[in-house]
Homo-oligomer: A and B are copies of this chain.
Amino acid sequence: MARVAFRLRVRPERIAEYEEAHRKVWPELLQLLKEVGISEYSIFRSGTDLFFYMHVDDFERAWSRIDASPVNRRWQAQMAPLFEPMPDPAPGERFPMMREVFYLE
């Protein structure tokens, strides 16, 4: 199991909409996230900065399955317009990843 973190930014005028959507994430999307091995998945916000944290068995495999699923395509079609453009991820990275520099169990 890996601890994984990455960041995104929400457009300031879409914050309320983003939060409302995340109070009622579709049950079939939650089920998909569990099925691909994600747990302890939190999204934190401060201003327009979003921080994503999760436990996952295999990040690349999990997100490949998520990306390929129709339910996630429908979800992303609603979410994509809410995000600010971010700098391109590093080569081979799916998101702007953060690196863990300390961990205490």
Contact = CB atoms under 8 A, between A and B. Distances in A.
A102 B24 CA distance: 9
A3 interface: yes
A22 B101 contact: yes
Interface in A50-105: 50-51, 53, 96-105
B5 A41 contact: no
A14 interface: no
Given A51-B51, A53-B53, A41 B99 contact: no
B22 A102 contact: yes
Interface of A: 3, 5, 7, 18-19, 22-23, 25, 30, 33-34, 38-46, 49-51, 53, 96-105
